[in-house]
């Protein structure tokens, strides 16, 4: 399992209790371990880094009573009410070690102090209150600030933004030319957007690298199948056969590819910063339903059209005899390639279907209220 990220945690206290609020929405598969000395929490949910695996491990300043403590999972957070052990007192901090954790913040709604009957207790509470106020003052400037994104997040933001701009340009240029002169658009698709589609598809190879490096939480297999399949059709099948350059199927193919991406990349950009938009989420996990089958069908038809052309030119084919004693007939390879469309398409559609089932649970329109 990937290393857990740290969600924001807000804490407050009374003389007899500790209050914790973990800023994590739509929690699933939570694992909670509360002992007299600390708290360990791990779960899947939507937090500061989007949909991800999160966890915390806290060693308390003083012992607590797990039996008298409780927690509840709510739609937008997880709340803990933890009973202190021994005589009630105000803790100067939550953790045993005096360290400043960037994800740990004060819950200003839960900072409270109980009155005491004796002057000694009143004096002690006043001193502790002054200490807490000083601590609050130090952290006040950070109360509503998000941590500055790291280099990896900045890179992924730039990459996703550039891909979004590229595919948006392709879709807009093709749609404009269709509106202006549909016959011209069908026969000049490569002239209108060929350079741009090649650029974004070369850049898309990085989407195979990102999960391999652990920079995004996804499997590299679907990315490899989709990116390399597109690039094979674009750069090899179409790119090396001029008789396909003006075929009308290219317009449909490029419109389908860009239509998928112009809703996918905004979703990724929002997720990088822990943001979420129900409409964008719904579009990202719904647009593929008509577009994936149409894209697979269009790619397959282009390959079918290419087979007789490559039989005629014998390009990429190798015949015996030769120095390597090796033969390769490219039209047969294309026919074999067509054979993998059904299992590959089934795998990709199945993957998207499972992701859609999980993602739509977090959209208010598609889920019931959780107690």
- As annotated, the active-site residues are 292, 299
Q: C-alpha distances in angstroms, 267 versus 157, 162, 292, 359, 365?
A: 11, 14, 18, 12, 18
Cα separation, 203 vs 196, in Å, equals 11
Q: Are strands 25-34 and 38-47 parallel, antiparallel or unpaired?
A: antiparallel
CA-based nearest residue to 299, from 358, 368, 361, 348: 348
Contact assessment for residue 269 and residue 164, using Cβ atoms and an 8 Å cutoff:
yes
- Sheet holding 38-47: strands in order across? 25-34, 38-47, 50-59
Alpha helices by DSSP H, listed for the chain, are 119-140, 151-180, 182-187, 189-203, 206-212, 220-231, 249-272, 278-284, 288-313, 330-339, 341-359
Structure tokens belonging to residue 266: 């905004």
DSSP letter string, 142-186: TTTPPPPP-HHHHHHHHHHHHHHHHHHHHHHHHHHHHHH-HHHHH
The encoded tokens of residue 12 equal 């407050």
141: enclosing H helix or E strand: none
CA distance 33 to 170: 51
In Å, what is the CA distance from 306 to each residue of 242, 244, 296, 314, 330? 10, 7, 15, 12, 10
What does residue 49 show for φ and ψ, rounded to 5 degrees?
-110, 30
Distance CA 309, CA 301 (A): 13
Cα 131 to chain centroid distance, Å, stands at 40
Nearest CA-CA partner of 172 in 262, 233, 292, 253 = 262
- Is there a contact between 43 and 27 (Cβ–Cβ < 8 Å)? yes
Contact 10, 18 (CB under 8 A): no
């Amino acid at each position: 399992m990937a290393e857990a990220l740290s969600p924001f945690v807000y804490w407050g206290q009374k003389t007899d209790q500790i209050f914790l609020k973990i800023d994590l929405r739509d929690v699933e598969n939570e694992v909670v371990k509360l002992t007299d000395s600390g708290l360990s929490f791990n779960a899947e949910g939507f937090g500061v880094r989007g949909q991800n695996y999160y966890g915390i491990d806290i060693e308390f300043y003083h012992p607590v009573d797990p039996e008298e403590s409780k927690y509840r999972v709510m739609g937008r957070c997880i709340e803990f009410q933890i009973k202190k052990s021994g005589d009630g007192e105000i803790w100067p901090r939550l953790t045993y070690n005096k360290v400043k954790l960037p994800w740990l913040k004060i819950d200003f709604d839960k900072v409270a102090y109980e009155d005491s009957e004796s002057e000694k207790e009143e004096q002690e509470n006043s001193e502790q209150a002054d200490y807490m106020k000083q601590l609050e003052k130090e952290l006040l400037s950070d109360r509503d600030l998000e941590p500055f994104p790291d280099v990896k997040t900045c890179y992924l933001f730039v990459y996703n933004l550039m891909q979004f701009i590229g595919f948006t340009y392709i879709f807009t240029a093709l749609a404009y030319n269709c509106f202006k002169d549909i016959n011209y658009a069908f026969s000049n698709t490569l002239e209108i957007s060929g350079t741009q589609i090649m650029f974004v598809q070369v850049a898309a190879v990085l989407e195979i690298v990102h999960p391999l490096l652990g920079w995004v939480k996804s499997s590299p297999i679907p990315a490899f199948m989709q990116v390399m399949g597109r690039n094979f059709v674009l750069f090899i099948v179409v790119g090396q056969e001029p008789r396909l350059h003006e075929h009308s199927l290219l317009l449909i193919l490029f419109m389908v590819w860009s239509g998928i991406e112009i809703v996918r990349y905004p979703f990724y950009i929002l997720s990088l910063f822990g943001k979420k938009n129900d409409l964008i989420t719904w579009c990202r996990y719904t647009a593929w339903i008509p577009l994936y089958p149409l894209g697979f069908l269009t790619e397959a038809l282009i390959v079918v059209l290419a087979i007789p052309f490559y039989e005629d030119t014998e390009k990429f084919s190798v015949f015996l005899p030769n120095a390597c004693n090796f033969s390769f007939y490219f039209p047969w390879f294309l026919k074999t390639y067509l054979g993998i469309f059904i299992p590959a398409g089934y795998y990709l559609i199945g993957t998207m279907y499972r992701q859609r089932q999980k993602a739509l649970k977090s959209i208010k329109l598609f889920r019931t209220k959780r107690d």
